[in-house]
Amino acid sequence: MKSVITGVAGFIGSHLAEKLLGLGHEVVGVDKFLDNYAREFKDSNLSQFAKHPSFKFINDDLVNIELHQLLNQTDYIFHLAAQPGVRSSWGEEFSHYSHNNILATQLLLEACKQVKVRKFVYASSSSVYGDTDDLPMRESGGTRPVSPYGVSKLAAEHLCYLYWKAFGIPTVSLRFFTVYGPRQRPDMFFHILMRRLLVDEEIPLYDDGKQSRDFTYCADIVDGLTAAAFYPGSGDVFNLGGGGEITLLNAIKLVEKVSGRKAKLKRFDRQRGDVRRTRASLGQAKKKLGYKPLVSLDEGLARQWEWISAMGK
C-alpha cells in the first residue's frame, strides 16, 4: 500500500506517518515548512521516522509539485497540509490561507482525476460550524464560520464534495475538534500553557475562561483518519471529537494537577474569530467508521506534559 501524507512534518501528520509505516505502508510525505512556527519542531517530528526504509520525503509547495507524478500508484491520500490559525487569518494574511488551504486542495483533487486512488481523506476543522448554540455540532447542521480560516476549510470541504460528485473521486472530509497531545504546535493553547508553567511565566487567557472546547487526543484523531481511509463509502463528512466538553478554566485546573504547578493567568479580551463552545456529535463517525475516542483528557494531558517536560526549558 502506498500513502501520501501532505503536511507530514506537522503535529498530526507526523503521528499519522508513524502509524501507517507501522501498518506496512509505503509513505510519501510532503511538507513545505510553513514559517508559522519554529522549524526545529517540525524537524524533530520528522526525525522520528525520516530514516525508515519505507518513507520518502518531499520538501515543496503542493502548488508547485508535479502532482500526477507524486500520486502515481497511490492508494490513499491524507491531505493534512494547511495554513492553520483562526486569529491570524484576517486581512492580508488571508492570501496564505487561500493559497495553502483552497488552491492546493483544488490542485490535488484535479490531479486525482488522472489517477485511481482508494480514498482522499481531507482534514477539515470544527471551525466550519462557527459560533453556534446548536450543540452538539452535527454534520447535517448549519455551517457559518466566523473566521477566514474557517471559511477556507469549508471551501476545501466543498471542493472535496464537488470532485466526488462530478468525477467520482472517493473523498471523505473529517472535522477535527481541538487536537492536543505530544508534538502539539507551539501556538496552541495546551502547548503555551505547559511551556509557560514549566518556566513559571504568565499565561495568556482570552475571554473569561468559561468558553468550552471538545478536546481530542492526537492518537484518536489518527485512528479516525485511518478508519476513514479504509471505510468503503465516500462523499461523506464526519466529526472527530474527544467525546466531551470542558471549560478552559477547568482544563487549566487539570493541567495544574498533572504538572503540580499553579498557572499565573493574564486576562485578555475575546479575540475575533473565537467561538464560545464546541462539542462534537460523534454518532455518524461511530456508526460508519467505528470511531471511538479512547484517551481521556486527564490521560492525554499527562502524556503531553511528559513530552513538554522532556523538551526542557
> Residue 122, Cα to own-chain centre: how many angstroms?
10
- Beta strands 236-240 and 202-206 are unpaired
| pLDDT tens digits, one per residue of 284-307 | 999 999 999 999 999 999 999 999
Closest CA to 114 of 79, 74, 162: 74
pLDDT beyond 80 at 312: no
pLDDT beyond 80 at 234: yes
| pLDDT tens digits, one per residue of 105-123 | 999 999 999 999 999 999 9
Q: Would you say 277 and 211 are in contact if contact means Cβ atoms under 8 Å apart?
A: yes
Mean pLDDT of 12-23: 98
Q: Would you say 30 and 5 are in contact if contact means Cβ atoms under 8 Å apart?
A: yes
To the question of domain 2-177+218-241+279-293 being in CATH 3.40.50.720, the answer is: yes
pLDDT beyond 90 at 273: no
| pLDDT tens digits, one per residue of 128-166 | 999 999 999 999 999 999 999 999 999 999 999 999 999
Per-domain residue ranges for the chain? 2-177+218-241+279-293
At 85 the pLDDT is 87
C-alpha 280/C-alpha 177 separation (Å) is 7
**Candidates 76, 122, 129, 149; catalytic one:** 149
pLDDT beyond 80 at 210: yes
Predicted confidence band of residue 313 (pLDDT cuts 50, 70, 90): low
Predicted confidence band of residue 88 (pLDDT cuts 50, 70, 90): confident
Percent of the residues in the chain that have a pLDDT greater than 90, as a whole number: 94
pLDDT beyond 70 at 18: yes
At 272 the pLDDT is 87
What's the angle, vertex CA 174, arms to CA 170 and CA 178, rounded to 5?
A: 165
> Residue 250: CB partners within 8 Å, gap ≥ 6?
none
Mean pLDDT of 13-27: 98
Can 206 be counted among the known catalytic residues? no
What average pLDDT is seen over the chain?
A: 96
C-alpha 165/C-alpha 142 separation (Å) is 21
